[in-house]
Structure 1
Amino acid sequence: MSADDVVRILAAPHFCDMTRSNFPNSLKLASIIRNDCQIRRFVHNQIIVREGEYVNSAFLVLSGVVAMLPPSDTSSESLARISKERPSTFSSVLQWLRRNKLPEVRDSVAGIPSAGSSVGDRLIEHLSEDVSKNDADTIRLIDGDIFGESAVLGRSEMTNTVVALCEVEVLEIRWQGLRDIRKRESGFKETIDNLYRERGLYYHLMSVPLFSNLSTEKIRELASVALFEVHGEFEWQKDFQKVSKQAKTEEDYNRIIESEPVIALEGDYPDGLLLVRNGFGRISRYINFGHYTMGYLSHGGMFGLEELYDAWKNGKATTLHCSFRALGYTDVIRIPTDWLEINMFSENAPETTKVALKQALMESRPTQLESNTKPVDRKLTEFLVENRLINGTASMVIDLERCVRCDDCVSACASAHDNNPRFNRHGKSFGRYMIANACMHCEDPVCMIGCPTGAIHRSPEGVVKITDSACIGCSTCANNCPYDNIRMVEIRDASGNVFAEPNGKPIIKASKCDLCAETSATPACERACSHDALKRIDLKDITNLTQWIDR
């Protein structure tokens, strides 16, 4: 960003009201703008960000008008995604032939001040139809308005597609810059936090199947009475890493469960319906002087509906059958009981509402690991929850009884990454199954917290990547990863000489699995296994997991 651009942004809405003396000399506001912000330009009907994508930035409208489309519009043919082309097979073979013979070879060691843009690498996409027509559910944003804050702060997917309605300029603020400004400007922090709660609440309610048949007016009415709650710590990995290393006995695990923030306690009367917006929650019961994990809830899950409905139907209060505790950082929306009784449970409710309620009651049980043929060992459920492995969207699961230790998976990974394997074939095990030390591309990637340059970021498709040229080797991401899936490696030149600091200390970079995002097919490790012993699995996808286990 040029010096003139920085001056312009300092005079823009929100920035012009900031007190510059709140920022220390080591991190001046102008420096944050220069290093963590970019001015982006879009034309009429061009998509800025898309519903369902992950972003690493919030956006401030500088000029023009943009439309924030309601979630349902994303199913329209006009929003059909343009698939990103992978390199051809010929290109992949050529890349393999040109690979370096030595590990971790780099042309240079220079880092760049910023990386991980939310829109910089995406394809230019336009709507096939004009969305400038009036729509009660479409929100129009003008100069000074902000969007994308909910996805950034919640480390979650975008709930809306945002489209330019004319020639538009927006300021992209990387989450590192957003974090630094919020720390020092209470007014800006309050603005962002209010948007996070209001928009996050409204659009999440629109996406809940139980409320899918409600009118816009009813959704707004519900949003006005619902409560937004946050449980747990944003940087939960620090405490988790500490206690997980100390836990060895059943008593230790009971103490861990009891230390988790309680959202609702077994035996208490339910105080409204709980909806999980972001994060994870443990469902447990107290049996024989111990806590037993019955399952878990993640984004879109609900807790307490069965008890609330039974109490209304029988005219007698019912206590909660299980406890609900936050696993890490959990956003919850609480729906008041009286609103549910009037609008959802009542005999006078529309037939479509009754159908949605019946379906929700059937699906309101917490996620448990069971297949169509037999239940999976409850201990496996506890293993996945205790180790927070349910966070992984692409975990490497290895069947140790099928694995012949040929290391073809490691060799294939190295071949796909310039002779640099990106994972270690060891990790936590449960019986015959091992979760290897390969990046799991987490739903809540806490490894990104604290990266000073934004080198580690998440692509719109959800792949957690490291921009090598932006990595300064600080090891923050490796230290933050709760699963030890990021390695710090020494880098060298083409002759094999290790790059070093002036004091002789080797220069290091972060290295991890990138799901072979730049190759022509599925992950090389999975493709190379001829014994069906390795699978990349979203550990929240119970059907996929149990089908593979029962194969």
Structure 2
Amino acid sequence: MAQENWVRRPQRWDAAFGRERIHPDWVNLILSSQILGDINPADFPDDLSLADIITNDCAIKWCSRGEIVYAAGSYQTSIFVVLNGGVRVSDDAGTDHASEPTAMPQLNAWLSPLLKRKFGRSESNVTRFPTVRLGRYEMFGEVEALTRTPRSNTAVADVDRTALLEITWPGARELLHWSDTFRSSVEELYRARSVEVGLKESGLFANIDPETLVAIAQQCSFERHGSFDWSHVYQRENATRQPSAQMIEQEPVIIEQGHYLEDMFLIRAGFARVTETVHDNESSVGFLESGDVFGLAEIEEGLIFGSHPNAERGLRSVGYTDLIRIPEHIVGKFILPGSKRRNRGAAPAPGQSPHGDLSLLDFVVDNRFINATNAMVIDTTRCVGCDDCVRACAAAHDGIPRFVRTGRTHANLMVTSACMHCTDPVCLIDCPTGAIHRDAFSGSVVINDDTCIGCATCSSACPYNNIQMREVTGPDGAILIDEDGGTHLKATKCDLCAGQSGGPACQRACPHDALTRIDIRDIDILSDRQSRV
């Protein structure tokens, strides 16, 4: 029987977010002013007071003129409010890094620390790019915090001794949950900014001057379909292992095939399934992600022939879908001339589909594997069950493997139960300490063992059951037991062997080239892997 040691169970606020807790004078100032809007402290429960949230889940950030608050492409989930001084937010969402949303954010994230060291407190940072100035009590950073996406712009302090209130995601989540007024103001700001930022990031209006773009944004509208916190709904549906047709029926309809298409849809965040209905049987023919458009071909045809465009395919929300509706006349005037955007909602050529193997497409969409940016995929025709991959993972992580060599299969491909470092990591949403987060440098989902309290919230929220709770042992190998007699646990998962040279040990250890890491959103690569000999 293993030896046991007694320890105190860690709590949410054992350590404050900042280097030290916010001073009571600042807390009183925030509570007595309109810094966070018209929030009523009485809306919060006694064991989770507004003052405690501000004290522990927020920090005061002091910046010199020209100091970078955050850089475009970096992964952060904090919301900021200007307390004193000012901030300039770069109007660079439409530059080259935004036009290629899959690859360039990683490059920008890699460059961000270098830029901070080189230009961290530079006068030129204030005037380097076209900017929007934000002053006292104005909020910024909410778009990326709510969508769990990389920063779309760069924020720079405008004057010396600029004071910012940084609200971590755990703190912001509590404010959004308990305060209707805060939630309403943030959502209104998010919707308004999402349209303009989304249009810039898309590259659809790359040659349009800022004033015209603002006017265009005012004629567009924002919509959300599905559930922002979609994982628990999906887990209930997926528990029954329903056929693809039933999965499709349960997904919210954005537009049905054959219905009048008065606007083009630009996907702002999340995913959508493109479907085709033949003889009352609705099936998948593609999927859309951030930056993709739906309805461009139909609107173009309607304008050419002077007819009302109808959707040639249907569109359903997968998990959640934020989209921007761009009116037909805007499409005709500003987008169609010279447009080269992806339009994966358009009809494919006869006998073809946008993604080839429809059964493979159903597999990745039904299981929400389209969320995966770095999935572990095993070719079962090459795997001999030697477990070299498992042993290599254990050797790299103190004897405890971070994945289970099992998973869901399609033909000869198995998507293994290992963290996939999702595009939309819903495991982050309810973590009370922010221990599970995206690395600002790489975007990988990582866990800070020092702040993980073993609550298992992330493990329960992961739609793929890829986060395990492990017993914690002391230096002598003894299992740690808390004051109530419970085992002291920590969340563990694949971390892509962060900090170790050579990349994931599992992939390097496979002697038969059976295991690889894949961005499953690229169905062509997955299909090639399936058909190789």
Give your verdict on TM over 0.5: yes
Kept in 2, the 8 Å contact 1:369–1:542? The answer is: no
Corresponding residue for residue 185 of structure 1: 179
Residue 303 of structure 1 deviates from its aligned partner by: 0.5
Kept in 2, the 8 Å contact 1:294–1:368? The answer is: no
Q: Take 1:11 and 1:526, find their aligned partners in 2: how far apart are those partners?
A: 55
Corresponding residue for residue 499 of structure 1: 480
Indicate how the Cα distance of structure 1 residues 344 and 505 shifts in structure 2: closer, same or farther if over 3 A, else same: closer
Residue 429 of structure 1 deviates from its aligned partner by: 0.7
Q: Take 1:497 and 1:269, find their aligned partners in 2: how far apart are those partners?
A: 66
From 488, 512, 517, the counterpart of 2:469: 488
Kept in 2, the 8 Å contact 1:38–1:172? The answer is: yes
Kept in 1, the 8 Å contact 2:364–2:370? The answer is: yes
Corresponding residue for residue 12 of structure 2: none
Corresponding residue for residue 114 of structure 1: none
Indicate how the Cα distance of structure 1 residues 82 and 399 shifts in structure 2: closer, same or farther if over 3 A, else same: closer
Kept in 1, the 8 Å contact 2:312–2:346? The answer is: no
Indicate how the Cα distance of structure 1 residues 433 and 368 shifts in structure 2: closer, same or farther if over 3 A, else same: farther
Task: Kindly indicate whether residue 344 of structure 2 is the aligned counterpart of residue 365 of structure 1.
Answer: yes
Task: Kindly indicate whether residue 245 of structure 2 is the aligned counterpart of residue 254 of structure 1.
Answer: yes
Kept in 1, the 8 Å contact 2:389–2:505? The answer is: yes
Indicate how the Cα distance of structure 1 residues 286 and 80 shifts in structure 2: closer, same or farther if over 3 A, else same: closer
From 50, 53, 62, the counterpart of 1:32: 53
Kindly provide the amino acid, as one letter, of the partner of residue 455 in structure 1: A
Corresponding residue for residue 18 of structure 2: none
Kindly provide the amino acid, as one letter, of the partner of residue 365 in structure 1: R
Task: Kindly indicate whether residue 44 of structure 2 is the aligned counterpart of residue 9 of structure 1.
Answer: no
Residue 225 of structure 1 deviates from its aligned partner by: 0.7
From 519, 525, 533, the counterpart of 2:500: 519
From 143, 148, 166, the counterpart of 2:136: 143
Q: Take 2:37 and 2:270, find their aligned partners in 1: how far apart are those partners?
A: 35
Residue 315 of structure 1 deviates from its aligned partner by: 1.4
SS at match of 2:481: coil
Q: Take 1:463 and 1:274, find their aligned partners in 2: how far apart are those partners?
A: 29
From 226, 232, 235, the counterpart of 1:238: 232
Indicate how the Cα distance of structure 1 residues 186 and 502 shifts in structure 2: closer, same or farther if over 3 A, else same: closer
Q: Take 1:526 and 1:205, find their aligned partners in 2: how far apart are those partners?
A: 39
Matches within 5 A, 1:359-508: 359-360=340-341, 363-366=342-345, 376-460=356-440, 461-508=442-489
Q: Take 2:411 and 2:320, find their aligned partners in 1: how far apart are those partners?
A: 29
SS at match of 1:385: helix
Deviates most, 1-10 or 18-27: 1-10
Kept in 1, the 8 Å contact 2:378–2:515? The answer is: yes
SS at match of 2:197: helix
Q: Take 1:486 and 1:365, find their aligned partners in 2: how far apart are those partners?
A: 33
Q: Take 1:430 and 1:440, find their aligned partners in 2: how far apart are those partners?
A: 17
Q: Take 1:13 and 1:51, find their aligned partners in 2: how far apart are those partners?
A: 29
Kindly provide the amino acid, as one letter, of the partner of residue 59 in structure 2: Q
Task: Kindly indicate whether residue 228 of structure 2 is the aligned counterpart of residue 207 of structure 1.
Answer: no
Deviates most, 10-19 or 487-496: 10-19
Summarize deviations over 1:371-420 as a string: whole Å, max 9, x none: x9x97421000000000000011111111112222222112212222222
Corresponding residue for residue 491 of structure 2: 510
SS at match of 1:393: coil
Indicate how the Cα distance of structure 1 residues 302 and 486 shifts in structure 2: closer, same or farther if over 3 A, else same: same
Q: Take 1:443 and 1:379, find their aligned partners in 2: how far apart are those partners?
A: 23
Residue 314 of structure 1 deviates from its aligned partner by: 0.9
Corresponding residue for residue 67 of structure 1: 88
Q: Take 1:56 and 1:369, find their aligned partners in 2: how far apart are those partners?
A: 38
SS at match of 1:488: strand
Q: Take 2:280 and 2:192, find their aligned partners in 1: how far apart are those partners?
A: 41
Residue 154 of structure 1 deviates from its aligned partner by: 1.4
Kindly provide the amino acid, as one letter, of the partner of residue 179 in structure 1: R
Corresponding residue for residue 159 of structure 1: 152
Kindly provide the amino acid, as one letter, of the partner of residue 155 in structure 1: R
Q: Take 1:305 and 1:368, find their aligned partners in 2: how far apart are those partners?
A: 11
Residue 479 of structure 1 deviates from its aligned partner by: 0.9
SS at match of 1:130: helix
Kept in 1, the 8 Å contact 2:257–2:276? The answer is: yes
4+ long deviations beyond 6 Å? 367-370
Residue 263 of structure 1 deviates from its aligned partner by: 0.6
SS at match of 1:210: coil
Summarize deviations over 1:502-542 as a string: whole Å, max 9, x none: 33221211111111222233122122223221111111134
Alignment TM-score, normalising by the size of structure 1: 0.84
Kept in 2, the 8 Å contact 1:295–1:367? The answer is: no
Q: Take 1:56 and 1:548, find their aligned partners in 2: how far apart are those partners?
A: 35
Corresponding residue for residue 335 of structure 1: 326
Corresponding residue for residue 169 of structure 1: 163
Kindly provide the amino acid, as one letter, of the partner of residue 24 in structure 2: A
Residue 123 of structure 1 deviates from its aligned partner by: 6.7
Kept in 1, the 8 Å contact 2:355–2:361? The answer is: no
Q: Percent identity?
A: 38
SS at match of 2:517: strand
Residue 12 of structure 1 deviates from its aligned partner by: 5.1
Kindly provide the amino acid, as one letter, of the partner of residue 327 in structure 1: V
Residue 258 of structure 1 deviates from its aligned partner by: 1.6
Kept in 2, the 8 Å contact 1:235–1:446? The answer is: yes
SS at match of 1:254: helix
Q: Take 2:348 and 2:265, find their aligned partners in 1: how far apart are those partners?
A: 22
Q: Take 2:33 and 2:490, find their aligned partners in 1: how far apart are those partners?
A: 37
Kindly provide the amino acid, as one letter, of the partner of residue 24 in structure 1: P
Residue 9 of structure 1 deviates from its aligned partner by: 3.3
Kept in 2, the 8 Å contact 1:311–1:317? The answer is: yes
Indicate how the Cα distance of structure 1 residues 491 and 439 shifts in structure 2: closer, same or farther if over 3 A, else same: same
Kept in 2, the 8 Å contact 1:392–1:442? The answer is: yes
In the comparison of the two structures, how many residue pairs are matched? 496
Q: Take 2:346 and 2:468, find their aligned partners in 1: how far apart are those partners?
A: 32
Residue 75 of structure 1 deviates from its aligned partner by: 5.8
Kindly provide the amino acid, as one letter, of the partner of residue 301 in structure 1: D
Task: Kindly indicate whether residue 196 of structure 2 is the aligned counterpart of residue 196 of structure 1.
Answer: no
Can you give the 5+ residue segments of structure 2 that lack an aligned partner in the other structure?
Answer: 1-20, 99-105
Alignment TM-score, normalising by the size of structure 2: 0.86
Matches within 5 A, 1:271-282: 271-282=262-273
Kept in 1, the 8 Å contact 2:81–2:140? The answer is: yes
SS at match of 2:302: helix
SS at match of 2:204: helix
SS at match of 2:479: coil
Indicate how the Cα distance of structure 1 residues 64 and 155 shifts in structure 2: closer, same or farther if over 3 A, else same: same
